[in-house]
Amino acid sequence: MTTAVKYEDGIYGLEQQRVRAFLIIGTESALLLDTGAIEADLPGMIRQITDLPLTVVLTHRDGDHLANLPLFSKAYIHEKDLEAAASQLSLSDTELLPLKEGEVFQLGGRSLSVNHTPGHTPGSICLLDEENRALFSGDTVSYGPVYMFGGHRDFPSYIDSLRRLDQQRARKAFDRVFCCHNSCPISPDVILDLISCAEGIMDHTIQGSPVVIHSGMEVLLGTVGKAGIYYL
Ligand SMILES: [Zn+2]
């Protein structure tokens, strides 16, 4: 089941049980950020909200953000996640186009700039709408727990990315975070908790508790404040 939720003017969540995609609307065009974890008629849902031209962008390569990608002819993804995403789409005609740090999507009255924030995956991005002070964080910032186990995760890069986002938070480039998992929107303050949590896991001052996640796998959960990180 997928439900459209209006968060504020021009920002809709396309909500599924464990993940959400975003429809972000300007005066001239709209942008779909991610395509969900389970099959849904996203093009039909979007047409009920807007008939503006649509650009599709992916926050990262993980499968729970790519499910309905074959319903769209092309999508942008950071160049470091492009190949891994393409390998999950072998029977699809969707064309994947590479994104780089600093590229900007102009929607009319709203511009979204690409922040490359590696760590959760090598090509994870956040989109910053500084004019409206909103950050679309993918899986890089959320109450999570953020998945940080598996071959393509990288704790040092993740901490680096969080520190760069925290500099933007400190200069008040955004005051709310639209994330793909758990509560939304959330306060940017969670970035500080995520940094403490990731650093504590790395220097072993945080001892995670064993938990079984939905796939049946046992991992460790570290928490600081509202932030949580799954790791091994
Ligand atoms: Zn995810």
Which residues have beta carbons under 5 A from ligand 1 (an ion)? 62, 64, 139
- Report all structural domains of the chain as residue ranges with CATH numbers, in order of start: 3-202 (3.60.15.10)
Distance 227 CA to ligand 1 centre (A): 15
Task: Say what the pLDDT of residue 84 is.
Answer: 93
Rounded Cα distance, 22 and 135, in Å: 12
Ligand 1 mean position, distance from CA 169 (Å)? 22
In Å, the largest CA–CA distance within the chain is: 51
Q: Please, what sign has the CA dihedral across residues 179, 183, 187, 193? A: negative
How would residue 93 be classed by pLDDT, with cut points 50, 70 and 90?
A: confident
Assess contact for 147 and 139: CB atoms under 8 A.
Answer: yes
Strand segments, DSSP code E, in the chain are 3-8, 11-15, 20-25, 30-33, 54-57, 74-78, 95-99, 104-106, 111-116, 125-129, 134-138, 146-147, 176-179, 209-212, 218-224, 227-231
pLDDT of residue 89: 81
pLDDT digits (tens, 9 = 90+) for 162-172: 999 999 999 99
Interval between CA 20 and ligand 1 midpoint (Å): 9
What are 138-162's pLDDT values in tens digits? 999 999 899 999 889 999 999 999 9
CA distance 72 to 81: 18
- Please tell me the distance between residue 65's alpha carbon and the centre of ligand 1 in angstroms: 6
Average of per-residue pLDDT values in the chain: 96
Residue 91 pLDDT grade (very low, low, confident, very high; cuts 50, 70, 90): low
Give residue-wise pLDDT tens across range 99-135: 999 999 999 999 999 999 999 999 999 999 999 999 9
Q: How far is the CA of 60 from the centre of ligand 1 (A)?
A: 8
Give residue 145 CA to ligand 1 midpoint distance, Å: 10
Ligand 1 centroid vs 151 CA: distance in angstroms? Answer: 15
Q: How far is the CA of 54 from the centre of ligand 1 (A)?
A: 22
For residue 194, report the distance from its CA to the centre of ligand 1, in Å.
16
CA of 108 to the centre of ligand 1 (A): 28
Per-residue pLDDT at 221 exceeds 80: yes
Per-residue pLDDT, averaged over 60-75, amounts to 95
Q: How far is the centre of ligand 1, averaged over its atoms, from the C-alpha of 180 (Å)?
A: 7
131 C-alpha to ligand 1 centroid (Å): 26
Give the per-residue pLDDT at 92.
Answer: 78
The predicted model scores a pTM of 0.96
